[in-house]
Amino acid sequence: VTAPLEADVLVVGGGMAGAVAALAAREAGARVVLVRRSPGATALSSGAVGVAPGAAGRDAPLAALRGPVEAAQAHALRHPDHPYAVVGAALGALPEALAFAARALPLLVPALDRPRVLATPLGGAAAAALCQRSQASGDLLAARGPVAVCGFRGHLAFDAGLVAAGLARTARRGGPEAFAVEVDLPFDDPAARPHELARGLDAPGAAERLGEAVGAALRGRGAGVALMAPVLGLDGAARAAERVAAAAGLAVAETLSDVPSVPGLRLQAALEAALRAGGVEVVTGALAGPAIPGALVEVAGRVIRARAWVLASGRYVGGGLARRGTLREPALGLAVQAAEGREAGVHLALRPAASLTVRDRRAPQPLLSAGLRVDARLRPLDDGGRPVHPRLLAAGAVVGGHEQATDGTGLGVAILTGWLAGRAAAGGIA
């Protein structure tokens, strides 16, 4: 029998919220164990960090978009159930939390006072606070000269013409002009899927050949940046996007991604690397049975004891929440009682799925924004409204009241609440 793994903080969940919580607790001097069943849902994200939509109105100029912090504050005012509103004054720590995440994850570029406006693979635009280095030159507010959308000849999954036509709509709001070109892939695989293309470009010489083709196709066309499908390398260390740019002799950027997401996979890999570098002990496995902070828990045969816990187990994709007739928080059996909007009602967890959704797909859906209710210090509340345990905290998508996959605040909430919860859990140790 091995001795229990003793730690100050146990983090449950290996996505953005859990990793930031673990790293923040480490920075505060705590010994941290992170338990996770599998890589988090962060691997399925667009690859950039949206903090808040910062909408300025349908036809308003892009330059009028609010910066991340201001946008988050405005979002909190309009959405009283949202974690940004629930944490109260602690929302003011958002810039610090974002700076912390950008330091911990070297593939990200730090936040600016204004949002970055990044293209989607369908030619739309979305606001992001942080983004990957491979996405940064695609910021429509920073492009110097027209955007050349480069498709791969022979590859149907990314339609450069459509992306350019979509961006032309943004041009009316002060975005750059856009045009489309096609370049040859440096290898022959017309029906390849995104991760296969990305792996192909990691190979020595492939990114360089692609860059030369991009450079040749755009010579003399005055392009400010070449915008490409989000497949520029799976291995962050291979720096495929930078190699393409160097060979092209021009700035190169990826669009945001849908699923499967190569940038999302890179982001997840960066989290893993940061956890290793930060000295966080990572244990892969599921919590066996409910327990409370301070008690011994067993995960994959290891016995762990920590005085404070951070639950950052995600929403439905992450597995932090599940529904089988009723809504449950499977790891600790906590009450699911927060969701956005009045439709949610008090018996949220017991209500039929159809009554927790509304007909308009694009409207907020209480079923998709369900999660734990927490107090301003991120302690989950029981059904009587009292904290379940003084040293049990929650972070990220397991906290309800926001639809993290769609409202443009998902990873922003993960970083803010992860950072706050990690520091609070480590509080009084150092």
Partner 1 sequence: MDYDVIIVGGGVNGTGTARDCAMRGLRVLLLEKADFGVGASGNSSGMIHGGIRYMLSDRHVTELACRDSGYIQRIAPHLLFRIPFLMPFASRKEGATLREKAVFYATEVYVGTYDLYQPLKRGKPSTRLDAEELYALEPGLRPGLHGAVTLDEWGIDAFRLCLLNALAARGHGAELRTWTEARRLLVEGGRVRGVRWRDALTGEEGEARAPVVFNASGAWSPAFARRAGAEVPMRPGKGVHLTLDRRYSSYGVICSAVDGRQMFLMPHENESIIGTTDDDYYGDPDDLEATHDEVEYLVEGVASLVPGVRDARVTRAWCGLRTTLYAYGPTEDALSREHQLLDGAGDGVAGLLSLIGGKLASYRAQSQEATDRIEQLLGRPVTPCRTHEVPLPGGDEVPDPVALAREFPVAPPVAARLVYRHGSRSREILAMVREDPRLGLVLCRDEAILAAEVVYCCRREEVRRLQDLRRRCRLAVGGCGGLDCARVGAQLAGRTLSWTADQVHAELADLLDQGWRDRRPVLDGAQLAQEELLRGAHGLSELT
Nearest residue (CB) to partner 1, 32 versus 321: 321
**Residue 167 CB, nearest distance to partner 1 (Å)?**
9
Smaller CB separation from partner 1, 202 or 403: 403
| Phi, psi at 7, each rounded to 5° | -145, 165
Least distance between partner 1 and beta carbon 328 (Å)? 11
How big is the chain by its Cα radius of gyration, in Å? 22
* Binder among 290, 352, 390, 428 for partner 1 (CB under 8 A): 352
Check residue 323 for interaction with partner 1 (CB under 8 A). yes
DSSP-H helix ranges across 219-277: 240-248, 262-277
Cβ proximity of 423 and 28 under 8 Å: yes
Position 361 contacts partner 1 (CB under 8 A): yes
The binder of partner 1 chosen from 70, 99, 112, 124 (CB under 8 A): 124
* 207: its two tokens: 């990114």
> For residue 357, which amino acid is it?
T
Is 220 exposed, middle or buried, given 0-12, 13-18 or 19+ CB atoms closer than 10 A?
A: exposed
Q: How far is the CB of 316 from partner 1 (least distance, A)?
A: 4
> CB–CB of 344/45 below 8 Å?
no
In this structure, the strands spanning 178-184 and 147-153 are: parallel
Which residue number, 73 or 357, has a Cβ lying nearer to partner 1?
Answer: 357
Q: Please give the Cα distance from 82 to 364 (Å, whole number).
A: 12
Q: Which of 80, 92, 110, 190 binds partner 1 (CB under 8 A)?
A: 190
Polymer length of the chain: 430
Contact pick of 74, 99, 112, 165 for partner 1 (by CB under 8 A): 165
**Rule CB under 8 A: is residue 344 a binding residue for partner 1?**
no
Is 324 a binding residue for partner 1 by CB under 8 A? The answer is yes
- List beta partners, residue 136: none
Q: Classify residue 399 as exposed, middle or buried by CB count within 10 Å of its CB (0-12, 13-18, 19+).
A: buried
Beta carbon nearer to partner 1, 109 or 164 = 164
Nearest distance, CB of residue 145 and partner 1, angstroms: 21
Token duo for residue 94: 């958002």
Token couple for 83 = 């974690």
258 binds partner 1 (CB under 8 A): yes
Query: How far apart, in whole angstroms, are the C-alpha atoms of residue 124 and residue 334?
Result: 39
Report the nearest approach of partner 1 to the CB of residue 54 (Å): 8
**Which one of residues 123, 176, 211, 236 is an interface residue with partner 1 (CB under 8 A)?**
123
By CB under 8 A, which span of 26-34, 151-159, 196-204, 238-246 interacts with partner 1? Answer: 151-159
Q: Which is nearer to partner 1, 243 or 351 (CB)?
A: 351
Q: How many CB atoms neighbour CB 146 within 10 A?
A: 19
120 vs 284 by CB, closer to partner 1: 120
C-alpha pair distances (Å), 106 with each of 49, 103, 117, 147, 274: 14, 6, 20, 26, 9
The yes or no reply on residue 78 touching partner 1 (CB under 8 A) is: no
> Exactly one of 139, 159, 202, 254 binds partner 1 (CB under 8 A); which one?
159
347 forms part of the interface with partner 1 (CB under 8 A): no
Question: Within 13 Å of residue 81, how many CA atoms lie on the same side as its CB?
Answer: 23
Binding of partner 1 by 161 (CB under 8 A): yes
Q: Contact residues for partner 1 (CB under 8 A)?
A: 44-45, 50, 53, 55, 58, 65, 117, 120-127, 154-157, 159, 161-162, 165-166, 168-169, 190-191, 258-259, 315-317, 319, 322-325, 352-355, 357, 359, 361-362, 367-368, 403, 405-408, 410
